[in-house]
Amino acid sequence: MKTRNNENQNWEFPSKIFKIFLVLIMVIYIQYMYLSLSPVVYKINMKKFAEARNTYSQTLYANRGTIYDSSSNTLAINISSYTVIAYLSPSRGGDYVKDKEGTAKALAPIINMDEDYIMNLLNKDVYQVELGPGGRNLSELKKDEIIALDLDGIDFIENSKRYYPNGDFASYILGYAKRNEISDNGKITYSIDGELGLESKYDDILKGKNGYLQYQQDRQGYKIPDTKETRIEAENGSDIYLTIDSNIQRFLESSVKDAAEIYEPDWMLLTVMDAKTGDILGSATYPSFDPNIRDIENYENPLVSYTYEPGSTMKTYTYMCAIDKGTYDGNLTYQSGSIEIGGSIINDWNKVGWGTVTYDLGYEYSSNTAIANVLNRFINKQDLKECFTKYGFGQTTGIELPREFPGNITFNYPIEVVAAGYGQGILTTAVQHLQALTIISNGGKMLKPNIIKEIRNSNNGEIIYQREIKESKQIVKDKTVSKMKELMFNTVNGTNYGTTGSGYKIAGFDIIGKTGTAQIYDVDSNRYLTGWNDYIYSFSGIFPNKDPKYIVYGAIQRPNNGSARGLQIATKTALENIAKYKNVFPSDSTEQTINEYILDSYISTNTNKTKDILEANGLNVIVIGDGNKVISQYPYKGIKVVNGDKVFLITNGTNIKVPNMKGWSRNDAELYLKIIEVDYELNGYGYVISQSEKTGTLIEDNMKITILLGDKFQLVDKEKEE
């Protein structure tokens, strides 16, 4: 029998293990050398990766520039806002949220969040948590209200947000900027970005440039001594000063809002320009919006972005073209009523005309057949096209506002030429009409419209840009200007039965102008609308006639009643206020002039003393609460008000009584009801004529106040009944 010689047999298995082990050692060594010598491992830069894990980086935010009016009153500014945070970790010692239920219950009504939702946030297993969304973008007042609760573990992160102290005020001029958050690998940064109006167009100038701070930190988050620190300071944005006069803007806003409440148009615009410089002094629109809450119905600015058929205001420029050519004779006559042009019948607006009348009267009566005859007798198609172009139509004006449209002044066939002569079949913008009127107000030279007065470096006040008065060469002769002013004066102030502009006449005022009524073309049905109010009513005016200071242009589309009545009332009210404010006709006015007053900060002052000071300056002071100290106010510090304006003083007293709101405007009543945070209902438009709660009634929880609004004459009648 053969036996196995175990002692002499080769042991191959351990030898294989040794070789495998040796290979693994070599692989590990090579990997170690690779990690030691190569800066990039698996496409990751190890040095940068390590630095990133140990590098603290902080954005140093630039402050967005402020927008001011022409008198340096603030229109748009960055202010501090606050985010509520809750510390949840006991590692902070005693400063963390211990009573979660009590904290949630206390905060819920203040930050307008559900109590259970706050509890879910407070129950998270994290070091700290933001109490959003309700706890974000809080005002200083809300922050103070929360601090007064003296809650453990509650703190605040200070941020910036854009704030518009006047609310709905020149909103399509200013536009808005809002805070946007950006998340990058869990790190949140923010920027305030302009998205409409000047805030959008001049976003880069206003925004400035952020800086940053960067250094190496240890595990505990402390800066490692003797390591490099990089600090690049932020460059704050520049400040923009507008040509807007806040008092004039306020007059326009008030006039437009009052008219819109009564006449309910599709849209309405009223703008005033300085006749000697081209500066826009104010421009109000309906509908509008509050840039703080961005309750926007339409994103286009009617001043520069609405193109529409202007109607008879274009007759001014057709007549001016004929007069300047030297062929016009206003004493010649024509047969009014109707005329055939290229197979189509042109009618006067009253369908029958005024018999045989002079061309001068044809302008005063706003006669369409006068335009047809002017184009047959004094000028031709080419003349009209050249004049309209020379007067600035069919092209942008270059005003410093975004999305300005050029309009369209294309016309070819005889009927199109005549229609263009009286403002149908072509498209213009409001700002083009303002610019063209400067030819008449400025002795035959056209002025470029401006909205920006200057731009300044916010750090040192250095002027970066300053607007210059840009005047064209002589476009029309002096005698042409004189003749046009004569025609426009008669249109407003004439006593003939056919005079069309008498609705804009103000006793003692030297106003000249031209009205317009344009049909509205519906692109969907490819025809003009034929409803009783399917028109755009407009007015182009200058005052005073002898030494023009102001140009006004207004338009209203499809009011629910009264045709052009709403625009007439709004325009005259605004011009009367402007005239008193600027003492344009001091010798003719016996009424009280308008005095302006810049509000100070009255926070922490004595309520009664502050009330006395404000009332001594002609202001209508509404005290909210029975406290002896003022804790808040509206309007805010730095806002310019005029005698008769309301100033709301919120006191530290908790007993709030219902005031007598009869005669208040809808805006004032709604503002007050929002301040006192009571449920309310507004019925009607115009001014308060009755209120559900009697004057002096103590405001209670769950109270609802119903307000009935109407015209001012209804208020008088209601008071007589009582």
Catalytic residue numbers read 312
Tracing tokens 């630039």 back to the chain, one arrives at 62
Q: Which amino acid is at 720?
A: K
What are the tokens at 284? Answer: 């109000």
- The count of other CB atoms within 10 Å of the CB of residue 524 is 5
Residue 198 in tokens: 């000047």
Which DSSP letter does residue 276 get? T
Alpha carbon distance 545, 40 (integer Å): 80
Q: Contact, 365 vs 490, CB < 8 A?
A: no
| Residue 372 phi, psi (nearest 5) | -60, -40
Query: Chain-centre distance of CA 269, in angstroms?
Result: 14
Please give the Cα distance from 182 to 288 (Å, whole number). Answer: 30
Q: In what order do the strands lie in the sheet with 646-651?
A: 620-624, 646-651, 630-634
The contacts of residue 612 (CB under 8 Å, 6+ apart) are: none
Query: Alpha-carbon torsion 514, 519, 522, 528, what sign?
Result: negative
Max CA separation in the chain (angstroms) = 153
Q: How many alpha carbons fall within 13 Å on the CB side of residue 322?
A: 25
Contacts of 561 (CB under 8 A, 6+ apart): 263, 533
DSSP H helices, 424-469, are 430-441
- CA 81: distance to chain centroid? 21
The dihedral through the CA atoms of 253, 255, 260, 266 has a sign that is: negative
What number of residues does the chain have? 722
| CA separation for the pair 412, 597 (Å, rounded) | 56
d(CA 622, CA 626): 12
For residues 703 and 678, what is the distance between their CA atoms, to the nearest angstrom? 7
Q: Which helix (H) or strand (E) holds 198?
A: helix 197-201
Residue 368, class by beta-carbon neighbours within 10 Å (0-12 exposed, 13-18 middle, 19+ buried)?
buried
d(CA 261, CA 711): 10
Q: Enumerate residues 6+ apart whose C-beta is below 8 A from 482.
A: none
Phi, psi dihedral angles at 36 (to 5 degrees): -75, -35
User: Closest by alpha carbon to 399, among 271, 548, 239?
Assistant: 271
Sign of CA dihedral 25, 26, 31, 37: positive
**DSSP H/E element including 291:** none
Residues 197, 301 contacting (CB under 8 angstroms): yes
DSSP-assigned beta bridge partners for residue 272: 282, 552
Contact predicate 303/271, CB 8 Å = yes
Which phi and psi (to 5°) does residue 278 adopt? 85, 5
Cα 652 from Cα 310, distance rounded (Å): 54
DSSP letter at 237?
A: P
Name 576's Cβ contacts closer than 8 Å, sequence gap at least 6.
506, 509
- In the chain the first and final C-alpha atoms are separated, in Å, by 140
- Residues 447/434, Cβ–Cβ less than 8 Å: no
